[in-house]
Structure 1
C-alpha cells in the first residue's frame, strides 16, 4: 500500500473503503484496523529522515598538542587590551588548533569586545574562566545605532562571530557572560532594560547577540555555559553540520528576547544533553528562505522559558525534526509550533517521542495564528506531526489549523495529560495510535486498550549548579 502525502487527512477515505478492503470484519474491527494502518503510515512518513543525518557522538576536548596559544588573565587589563590579545591569538592559530584560556591566579576573567572566529580554530575555556562581553555599545556598533531603539534593530555586531568557517567551535567548562543585566557604558539602562523599553514603545532594540554562526560547516559547541545574553544566546544561520552537546544556558526568565539556541535555514544539527533556562524560547527552529531540516533534539532538560519551538518564521519550510527524551518543567509553553499568515510555510515530518511536561501553562501549543492580527498569504501548514509517549499535567492543549483548506494533521500515540488539561482544537485532523490518548479531544475515538503513560519521575532533575 502506498503512503499518501497526507496520511491523517486520508482517514475518512480509509474508513469508507474498509468494507471492500476487509469485508470479513465487522464495522468496529474495520475502524480499529483503519486506525492501526494510519499509525503505520504516519510512522513511515515521519521517521524516514526525521533527525540529523550524521553519525553524531559526544565530542571531546582538544589534545594538548592542538593548543596553539594559552592565555591567562592580566590583572587590571582593559576590555580593549583583552579584545586585542584574544583576537590576535585566534588569528595566529591554524585550522585544527585551539586557543586555550586558563584561569591562573587572576580570577579567570577576560573582558572583551566582539571577536571574529577563524575557520577551524577552537576556543577552549577552562574551568574557572569567564569570557565577559563588555557592556559598551560603542564596541559593538555597526551603524551608530547600537544601544538605541529604532525600526530595524540590527545595529550591533555579535560578541562571537563564526562567518563562513569550517570546523572549530567553542569548548570547555568555562562560561561566556553577555552581561545583559549590566548598565551600558554611557547609559542609565542595561541591555535588557532597553529591550523592555523597545517593547513598550513598539520599536526594536539594537543589542548584540552572544554567538552568531553564519554560512558555517561542522561547528562544535561542547560543555560550555552561556549566560546573560543581551539577545539570542546562540544563533545558527545557513549552517550545515552543528553539534551542541552538554551546553548550559542560564538567563533570568524576564530577560526579553534571550532565546537559547536558534537554528535557522540550517541542516544536520544536533542539540543533546543540554540544560536551558532563559527569557524566551529555549530552542526555536526557524526558516526564512532556505529551510531547516534534519535536526535532532535529544536528552535535553528545559526549565523556565517560552518553549521548545518551531517558528515563528517558517517561510522556507521546516521538516525532518526529532525531539526525543526531553523534559520541560516550568515554562510558559512546552512543545510549540507557531506561525501566522505573514511568515508561514510548511512544517512536516516532526516526531516528538518520550517527552515529559510539568508546570507549563500551555504544554502543547501548535498554532497557525500566532499573531491573530497578522495579514498575508503565507499560510502555515503543519502536517505529519507525531506525538508518541508524551505525558504532562494541567494547562491548555492548543491544536489550531488555519482553516478548513489548511488543516493541522497530528497523530497522538501514548499521549496522557492529567490535572484538568483541556484540549482546544480547531481545523485539525487528529489520529489516535495504539498507545491511546487521555483526555480525549472531542470527536476522537481512542483504541480500547487504554493509555501507555510515560514514567517521568527520573526526568525531573534540578538545573546543574556551578
Structure 2
C-alpha cells in the first residue's frame, strides 16, 4: 500500500535445530492496514516549544485521522511536551527522526477523569493502578502502530522521587504507585517498531488482554537505579512477539503475568539485546497459567538476572511448555532463577541478619532483594491457581561467561515440586554452583565450572539426572 502501512500475516522461522518443536506456531501479527491519510500534528497547532503543552494538537490530529477512516499521524522533528494521549483504531502514530515527545511530569495529569476510566488499569494485581492512566493509552481498539525513529520520554524522575520519599518515610518499599508510560488493554493487532521509549515513571510498556502484538527493533531504557521500570509487561495476553530490541532498565526486561485462566500463551522472544536489568521473566503473578514460550538467540550483558520464572504461593499457577534456545549471557550475576518464592526481604543489613536467624526464614538465604526459607520448610496445602508449579521447561545451547556469582537457582515448594526441567548443551562459568531444591532436573552435555564448592548444590527434594 503506497504511503500506508500494510503488514500481513507473517510466520517466524525459529531456529529449532534438533530441539523439540514448540507446541505453538510463533505467528503473532495478523494483517494490519493503515489508510493513506496523513495528519501532521503541526497542522493542528503543535508548536514544539518543549515548555507549553501540545496535548490538544496531538489529540486533534489523532481524532481527525480516525474520523476520516484512519491514517498516519506524523510527529516531525522537534521537542514536544504533552499530557496523556489516547490512540484509536486504524492509526499509525509515527515519530520522525529528531522528534522527542516528552510526557508531563505533573502527577495530576495521570489521574483519570470519569470519562477516562476505561483507559485506567483496574487489575487487582496492580495495587492502586485504578488511580492511573498511562501517557500513551489504548483501550478497546485495534490495528494501531507506533513507529519511527523518534523518542517517547517519560520524564519519570519527578514521580520516582516522590515514591522514594514515601519509601523513606514508611521505612519500607510500597507498591509501584506511579503511572505507566504506554498502557494498553482489551486490544488487538498492535505494532511498536523502531522508536525509543525511555525514562518511564514506572513500567514502560504494559498491556492487558491484548492479542497479536509485536514489539520490534525498539530501544527501551532507564537508569539502572530507577526502581520498578520494567521494559515490557504482558498481562493476560497472547500471540506476543518481542524481537530485535535493545533494552536496559532498572527492573525486568520482560515480565509476563497471568491473573486470569488460559489467557497468557504463545510468546516469541528472539534476537534481543538485554543489558542492565533483572531478566527475561515470567511472574510474579502466574495464577492464571502461562504456556507456550519460545525465547531464542537473545544476548544478556551486565544484567542482574538472565532468565527468571518467579511466583510465590498465593499468586502461583502452572507455567509449562517453555523453551529457551541458543541464548548467551555475559557478566550476568545470576543467569537462571526458577523460584516458587518471591518475597521481598528486609532492606537494612541488621534486619536481614535477624530475619535469617529467627522466624520462618531462619537458616534461609537472600538473593537480590528476595528472601528464601531453609530447605527444611514443611509442605503446605496445595491449591490450584495459588501454588506455583513449573513443568516442561527446557534450556538448550546456553553459554554463560564472565563475572557470574551463581550458576543458578531452582527452588520449588515441598508440596508441589517442579517437574521436567531439562538442560542440554549448557556451558556456565560462575563463582558458585547451581542450587536445586524440590525439583526434578535433567542435565545433558552440561558443563558448570565453579571457583568455589560443587557445581550442583543438592538440597532437599532435588532429583537430578545427568
TM-score category (smaller protein): 0.7 to 0.9
List structure 1 segments (4+ residues) > 6 angstroms apart after TM superposition.
373-376
From 207, 211, 228, the counterpart of 2:182: 211
Distance 2:325 2:42 in 1: 44
How far residue 193 of structure 1 moved from its aligned partner, in angstroms, is: 1.3
Map residues 301-450 of structure 1 onto 2, 5 A cutoff.
301-371=273-343, 377=383, 378-393=386-401, 394-396=404-406, 397-403=408-414, 405-433=416-444, 435-439=445-449, 441=456, 444-446=464-466
More strand by share: 2
Distance 2:127 2:284 in 1: 19
Question: 1:421–1:56: structure 2 CA closer, same or farther, 3 Å change rule?
Answer: farther
How far residue 55 of structure 1 moved from its aligned partner, in angstroms, is: 6.6
Write out per-residue CA displacement over residues 355-379 of structure 1, whole angstroms, 9 at most, x where no aligned residue: 1112122111111112258999411
What is the match of residue 20 of structure 1?
none
Q: TM-score, normalised by structure 2?
A: 0.76
Distance 1:176 1:245 in 2: 15
Distance 1:248 1:112 in 2: 21
**Secondary structure of 2:191's match?**
strand
What is the match of residue 151 of structure 2?
175
What is the match of residue 286 of structure 1?
257
Distance 1:219 1:205 in 2: 26
Question: 1:205–1:390: structure 2 CA closer, same or farther, 3 Å change rule?
Answer: closer
Question: 1:124–1:353: structure 2 CA closer, same or farther, 3 Å change rule?
Answer: same
Distance 1:332 1:241 in 2: 30
Distance 1:260 1:342 in 2: 25
Distance 2:70 2:193 in 1: 16
Write out per-residue CA displacement over residues 73-129 of structure 1, whole angstroms, 9 at most, x where no aligned residue: 51547544x1000011101113541100101xxxx1110001111111111000000
Distance 1:55 1:234 in 2: 18
Do structure 1's residue 192 and structure 2's residue 202 form an aligned pair? no
What is the match of residue 4 of structure 1?
none
Give the structure, 1 or 2, with the largest relative contact order (CA under 8 Å, sep 6 or more): 1
| RMSD over equivalenced CA pairs, Å | 2.9
Question: 1:353–1:198: structure 2 CA closer, same or farther, 3 Å change rule?
Answer: farther
Tell me if the contact between 2:133 and 2:183 (Cα under 8 Å) persists in the aligned partners: no
How far residue 416 of structure 1 moved from its aligned partner, in angstroms, is: 1.0
How far residue 415 of structure 1 moved from its aligned partner, in angstroms, is: 1.0
What is the match of residue 10 of structure 1?
none
From 136, 143, 153, the counterpart of 1:160: 136
Tell me if the contact between 1:83 and 1:114 (Cα under 8 Å) persists in the aligned partners: yes
What is the match of residue 362 of structure 2?
none
Distance 1:288 1:316 in 2: 5
Distance 1:55 1:431 in 2: 35
What is the match of residue 102 of structure 2?
132
Distance 2:337 2:52 in 1: 43
Distance 1:373 1:401 in 2: 11
Distance 1:296 1:235 in 2: 17
Distance 2:147 2:240 in 1: 17
How far residue 243 of structure 1 moved from its aligned partner, in angstroms, is: 0.8
Write out per-residue CA displacement over residues 45-72 of structure 1, whole angstroms, 9 at most, x where no aligned residue: x7222x5334789x99x79x44233537
Tell me if the contact between 2:241 and 2:268 (Cα under 8 Å) persists in the aligned partners: yes
**Secondary structure of 1:281's match?**
coil
Distance 1:223 1:326 in 2: 18
**Secondary structure of 1:168's match?**
strand
From 237, 259, 272, the counterpart of 2:243: 272
**Secondary structure of 1:343's match?**
coil
Tell me if the contact between 1:412 and 1:437 (Cα under 8 Å) persists in the aligned partners: no
Distance 2:269 2:29 in 1: 14
Question: 1:347–1:151: structure 2 CA closer, same or farther, 3 Å change rule?
Answer: closer
**Secondary structure of 1:232's match?**
coil
Question: 1:409–1:402: structure 2 CA closer, same or farther, 3 Å change rule?
Answer: farther
**Secondary structure of 1:204's match?**
coil
Q: TM-score, normalised by structure 1?
A: 0.76
Question: 1:326–1:122: structure 2 CA closer, same or farther, 3 Å change rule?
Answer: same
* Higher Cα radius of gyration: 1
How far residue 156 of structure 1 moved from its aligned partner, in angstroms, is: 2.3
